[in-house]
Structure 1
Amino acid sequence: MLTINYTYRIYPNTTQQTELLEWIETCRGVYNYALRELKDWMASRKCPADRCSLEKEYTIPADELFPSYHRQQNNLPKAKKQFPHLGKVHSQVLQTTIRRVYDTWEAFQKRGYGFPRFNKLGQFKSFVFPQLKNNPISGHTIKLPTIGKVPINLHRSIPNGFALKSVRVGSKVRGTQWYAVVTITSDVSVPEIEPRSPCIGIDLGLERFLMASDSSVEESPQCFESMQSKLKLLQHRAARKQKGSKNWEKAQLAIARVYHRIANRRQDFHLKTAHKLCDRAQTIFAEDLNVKGLRRGMLREDCVDAAFGQFLSLTEGVCWKRGVYFAKVDPNGTRPNCFAMVSKGLNVREHHCPDCRDRTHRDTPPASLRERVAAEMVLHRGLEPVSRQRLWENESACQVGLSGVDDLDRWRGARTSNREIGKPALYL
């Protein structure tokens, strides 16, 4: 079963926008109410059996069952009688909202931290139509249950053989831009992508966004830094408005549009860079970075602006679509630590390090050299397990990885230091 998500821009009219916003607020209330029942039941079981809490006590009977997904879903018809505004929302939309609570609850139990939080005003931004009888897309409109027909920018058609499964409607930029995420499925089997030549390793950094083992470079776009002055001016103006007034809402909308533009520019750069990599190679290796750890360091602002996690995720998706093998390797120890100084005259144009046995032109910038060597180390780490699994049986016997003779000469001669990584073994 193959499942793909397509995102389209939709353009509801004023009446439909008002109704969609009301639905989102109703779903937010249902989500918070279901989570409140769950948290109260959990809090009532924290107190020891022989004594009560000094702060507060939850008077929930001991024989009360756990508010599971099915119990809360069955309570929805009773809640509609008590709260008539719930009946305005499609019934399956409310059911998927309850399901959303328990998806976060199950994720919390799986990872052991991050208890689900309540959604404040403006934080709940989407809802789902899980089932649709017929294909709702016809021409340049999409028919949503109860909402009606909404214009859609169908920038790419749905492939033949795919059936539409569900539609998620979401808002951005404080409810002024609307999108429909269409989930399509097909009963086809996708073969696993196997590594093949040529291949490259990529090293991500802040000075340069990307350095590949084939010496190609992608400079960092610095999307946030380029718009920071304008964003600072808009935030300064918004701070002088009375909170909740119409002028304050307009100022907040202008700030949201700038943030949305920054996110779009960053995503566009990541997608274009991923396609460039796929144009040059059929196998790509990248570092498995600790993205959460990078956001806590001294350079957290630059790391968040670069969005390495989003780039790796988008690159993996682009590689899957284009049939390119993608894998992540351990990032520890990929940066060269040799900074030995070697004296030489002006007539000597080549730098030769006696410690790490590296050879390069003397005019090569040290930062570029370190990044290129790091990318080559990433490439070697990716090729080593692939060679052990003998996935290159279709290649000639003289090849190790993708260009065995060149790699062996490089590692035996000028490129390899005697480090923990070790030298590559020859698999013939």
Structure 2
Amino acid sequence: MLNLTYEYKLIPTDAQRETLDLWLKICCKVYNFALRERKDWGNSRKCELNSCSIKHEYIISPDTPRPTFARQCKSLAQAKKKSPELKLPHTHVLQQVLRQLEATFVAMWERGHGFPRFKKRMRSIVFPQLNLEVMRRDDGNDEVNLPKIGWVKLHLSRSLPEGFEVKQIRVVKRASGYYAMLTLQLDVDVPQPSPSGHGLGIDLGLGHFLATSDGQLIARPRFFVDGQRKLKLLQRQLKRKNKGSRKSHQLQHRIAKHHEYISNTRKDFHFKTAHQLCDRAGMIFAEDLNLKAMSAGILCKHTLDAGFGQFLSILSHVCLKQDKFFAKVDANGTSQTCPRCQTHTGKKLLSERVHKCPECGYETNRDVAAAQVVLQRGYTAVGHIAVNFGEGK
């Protein structure tokens, strides 16, 4: 089964924009109410009857079952009789909100994520497969059919691939407007790329964004740091405005648009770098980094600004699209190992940017040496003969 996601800019009318805004507010209320129901049920069963808190305690009947996705969907159907507001959005849209809440609890139980938080606002709604249609007209007014909203204009920047079926549409609200993310599905088996061709190891860092085993060094653009001065000026102006005023909302919108611009710039750089690497190699190996630990260190701002996790995800996607093999290898000791003789060099300071082996005398850039070690470990993992760097030097 092959799944693709195509993103297009929506051009709704004023009435359609008001409808989408109202649906987002209702979905936010449903999400928070369902979360509160689950949280209260859990708090009522935290302690024994003879050891309740002195101040207060949640009291819910012991016969009350645990709120699950199925039970909350039934409660939602009953709540529509009392609250006409819940009848405005499509039923499946509200059910997808409850499914999203269920997914957050599953991620907490199985993958160690944090406890779900209440939402201040919803940023997207999901339309599952409900006669979803995308029509490309000759006059350029392309449209998409959203249930209970009707035909909404969109900018079809690229044609939909033939044979694919639209499974769902996620409408996302951003500072620059509404976007439709179309999930396309085709019942076909896609073979995974096999390891062949020229191998390339990469080492990610903050001195240089990326170093390759071929000796290429790519500088790290400072997306957020460069845009931080403008953000400070806007936020300083916002602090002097009355909360809830028209000027306050205008400044909040400008700040959100600047954050979106920074995010788009970062993603554009990641895609261009990933395509550049795939054009030069048939196999790409990267370190399996502990990104969560890196994001909590003293250099957390610069680590998050670089977006290593997003880049590795994009690189994996581009490699699959171009039929290039991609794999991650163990990251322990890559910068402490000589790629020529495998000696542990024992570098103690990050300021030591030159790799010079005390045993064989191999000398090169520290990040390039780490990338070469990554390539050797990748060759070993796929069963290829590892190259020996620095021969004859």
TM-score, with length taken from structure 1? 0.84
Per the alignment, residue 167 of structure 2 pairs with 165
Structure (1 or 2) with the larger CA radius of gyration: 1
State the alpha-carbon separation in 1 of the partners of residues 244 and 298 from structure 2. Answer: 35
Report the secondary structure of 1:171's partner residue: strand
Per the alignment, residue 362 of structure 2 pairs with 359
Report matched runs for 1:181-196 at 5 Å: 181-196=181-196
Report the secondary structure of 2:365's partner residue: helix
1:386 aligns with 2:382: yes
Q: What is the one-letter code of the residue matched to 1:308? A: F
Q: 1:352 to 1:294 in 2, by over 3 A?
A: closer
Shift of 1:113: 4.7
Per the alignment, residue 271 of structure 1 pairs with 271
Q: 1:20 to 1:273 in 2, by over 3 A?
A: same
State the alpha-carbon separation in 2 of the partners of residues 16 and 126 from structure 1. Answer: 15
Gaps of 5+ in 1: 341-350, 361-367, 393-399, 402-406, 416-428
Shift of 1:339: 6.3
Per the alignment, residue 219 of structure 2 pairs with 219
Shift of 1:59: 2.0
Shift of 1:3: 1.2
State the alpha-carbon separation in 2 of the partners of residues 303 and 373 from structure 1. Answer: 21
State the alpha-carbon separation in 1 of the partners of residues 269 and 380 from structure 2. Answer: 31
State the alpha-carbon separation in 2 of the partners of residues 187 and 145 from structure 1. Answer: 25
CA contact (8 A) 1:136 1:144 kept: no
Per the alignment, residue 57 of structure 2 pairs with 57
State the alpha-carbon separation in 2 of the partners of residues 221 and 80 from structure 1. Answer: 51
State the alpha-carbon separation in 1 of the partners of residues 347 and 355 from structure 2. Answer: 12
Report matched runs for 1:24-423 at 5 Å: 24-120=24-120, 122=121, 124-139=122-137, 140-173=142-175, 176-336=176-336, 337=345, 355-360=358-363, 369-387=365-383, 400-401=385-386, 407-408=387-388, 410=389
CA contact (8 A) 1:274 1:315 kept: yes
Report the secondary structure of 2:133's partner residue: coil
Q: 1:21 to 1:353 in 2, by over 3 A?
A: closer
Q: 1:261 to 1:354 in 2, by over 3 A?
A: closer
CA contact (8 A) 1:164 1:183 kept: yes
State the alpha-carbon separation in 2 of the partners of residues 61 and 354 from structure 1. Answer: 70
More displaced stretch, 105-114 vs 295-304? 105-114
Post-superposition Cα deviations, 1:81-112, rounded to whole Å, max 9, x if no partner, equal 11111101111101111111111111111134
Q: What is the one-letter code of the residue matched to 1:371? A: D
More displaced stretch, 54-63 vs 24-33? 54-63
The alignment of Structure 1 onto Structure 2 pairs a total of residues equal to: 376
State the alpha-carbon separation in 2 of the partners of residues 112 and 371 from structure 1. Answer: 32
CA contact (8 A) 1:128 1:167 kept: yes
Q: What is the one-letter code of the residue matched to 1:252? A: Q
Report the secondary structure of 2:328's partner residue: strand
Q: What is the one-letter code of the residue matched to 2:372? A: E
State the alpha-carbon separation in 1 of the partners of residues 241 and 324 from structure 2. Answer: 52
CA RMSD, Structure 1 to Structure 2 (Å): 2.0
State the alpha-carbon separation in 2 of the partners of residues 293 and 82 from structure 1. Answer: 48
